[in-house]
Amino acid sequence: MTTPAAAPGDDPNQQPGAGLRADAERNRDRILAAARRLFAEEGLGASMASVAREAGVGKATLSRRFATRGELINAVFADRMDAYATATREALADPDPWHGFIGYIHAVCAMQAADRGFADVLTMTFPAAKALEARRAEAHEGLLELIDRAKATGNLREDFTDRDMPILLMANAGVLNAAGDAAPDAWRRLVAHMIRSYATPDAPIPPLPEAPAPSALYRAMVRLTHSPG
């Protein structure tokens, strides 16, 4: 097996100074960019070794920058978790709580659709990634308030709970994984149906998006059938 050539900042004999610090920062940026690509394409199952190869750095360099997978995940998805928390705050700021609730559902599910790795992050917990989990807790507290406000409008069913959100996210992640690029908008149809199931009989609901074409669904089913594992 070919060992990756030492990237700038990997050389233990390099003298300390501004150049070394700049190289170290470039290596960190390369690692984060590589991890984002791999996590987005493969999910969080991508190995640390594959991240190092993709970044063109040695395993020792990766370990110096990010000692654990949790640290790497925290760094890669910090901005996305910020966006997740922001989606909650924006929903709470909507003068119509029911409209805000619908907007929140769409925003979070769209985040999943844009990044497979983030889809995994939303349906898993990472106790070692303290900052990431803190953002998740903040978003969850906002969600609880949003649910209460939406119920007060009479448009959200009384039996909806915060535990229905992970179920929706897991279902959406499954559709995204199964449909892939064969039916990339299939998730929108799922989400629209789920919103209808959460609404009371007289609640205003968005129009139902078009169902994927039969040929697209066929390609998605063939893709799923032939997926490894």
- What mean pLDDT comes out for the span 137-166? 95
Distance CA 158, CA 154 (A): 8
Segment 199-215, tens digit of pLDDT: 999 999 999 999 999 99
pLDDT at 9 over 90: no
Does the domain at residues 18-67 carry the CATH identifier 1.10.10? yes
Contact 100, 94 (CB under 8 A): yes
Tell me, which fold does domain 78-225 have in CATH? Tetracycline Repressor; domain 2 (1.10.357)
Query: Residue 155 in contact with residue 96, Cβ under 8 Å?
Result: no
User: How sure is the predictor about 159, in pLDDT bands with cuts at 50, 70 and 90?
Assistant: very high
| Fold match, 18-67 / 78-225 | no
Q: Quick: pLDDT tens for 24-77.
A: 888 899 999 999 888 877 777 788 999 999 999 999 999 989 988 878 888 888
The CA distance from 168 to 155, in Å, is 18
Domain range list for the chain:
18-67, 78-225
